[in-house]
Amino acid sequence: MGTENNISTSSERMAWRAAQELHDGDVVFVGIGLPNLACNLARATHAPGLFMIYESGAVGAIPERLPVSIGDPSLVTDSLAVVGQADIFQCLLQRGLIEVGFLGGAQVDRWGNINTTVIGDYANPKVRLPGSGGACEIAVHARRLLIVMRMGKRTFVEKCDFITSPGHRMNGKTRAELGLPGGGPTRIITDLGVLDFDATGEAVLSEVYPGVTPEQVRAACGWSLRVADSVRTTGEPDMSVLSLLRERLDPQRLYL
């Protein structure tokens, strides 16, 4: 894809929209995949002071190129510190020092619960997934949680087969009732639009991309998705952002 093509792809729109949620100076726990691209896009544009922490132990990472994994050597160069995973989770995350966390998964429900453990019955699953890693701790402790997932009936489900990472309500109980200290999910950024969470903790469609209707989003969702009274049409990444994504940040199309 050359830069002469000014039509953004769904992956480019998701990375760009996710980057808009990050502010200069935010402390963010960076995930791999599109969240990784979104964080590095934000740092290269409107949030040069974004403080990025990777699960592998890189604190204050400022990679010169897009890291391909949490163990990429580019994360070490010029980082503020490289520490053990125990320090990342116990000294930073569990102390409430992480402002923004990014997660995705195989399933998400209306309350923002995420499944990355199994599809089907836990004892006899159809698919065994990678599991939690640090996802549960991020969902529990981050002050803000952004979920980045492509929308479809198999991924946006009425009920997760297994709750790996808690959202706003699990088995009828709220985060406060369960004693979870973090703020919980604030937005779900999809390839069709953006879902916010209302005062009850339920996901509500608040934005659509140009050319997408609320009806299309509801048809792609596995539950009866509520729609905000006023649904915004979000913008599109401009040519400068597309060139940055395609030529500098991800020329090999690792995430795009």
Token digits for 224?
């009866």
| Cα–Cα distance, 227 to 208 (Å, whole number) | 11
Is a pLDDT exceeding 90 seen at residue 143? yes
Is a pLDDT exceeding 50 seen at residue 228? yes
Q: 211 or 66: which carries more pLDDT confidence? A: 211
Cα–Cα nearest to 109, from 156, 148, 147: 156
Longest dimension (CA), the chain: 53
The 3 state secondary structure assigned to 198-244 is CCCCCEEEEEECCCCCHHHHHHCCCCCCEEEEEEEECCCCCHHHHHH
Is a pLDDT exceeding 60 seen at residue 163? yes
Catalytic residue list contains 55: yes
Is a pLDDT exceeding 90 seen at residue 147? yes
pLDDT of residue 4: 56
Q: How many helices (H) and strands (E) does the chain have?
A: 7, 16
**Mean per-residue pLDDT for 13-38?**
94
Read off the pLDDT of residues 176-225 as tens digits, 9 standing for 90 and up.
999 999 999 999 999 999 999 999 999 999 999 999 999 999 999 999 99
| Cα–Cα distance, 1 to 10 (Å, whole number) | 14
Which stretches within the chain are classed as H helix?
10-19, 34-44, 85-86, 135-141, 175-178, 214-219, 239-243
Is a pLDDT exceeding 50 seen at residue 1? no
Kindly tell me the burial class for residue 132, based on how many C-beta atoms sit within 10 Å of its own C-beta (0-12, 13-18, 19 or more): middle
Read off the pLDDT of residues 70-92 as tens digits, 9 standing for 90 and up.
888 889 989 999 999 899 999 99
Catalytic pick among 4, 12, 21, 55: 55
Q: 1 or 75: which carries more pLDDT confidence? A: 75
| Cα–Cα distance, 206 to 53 (Å, whole number) | 29
pLDDT of residue 135: 93
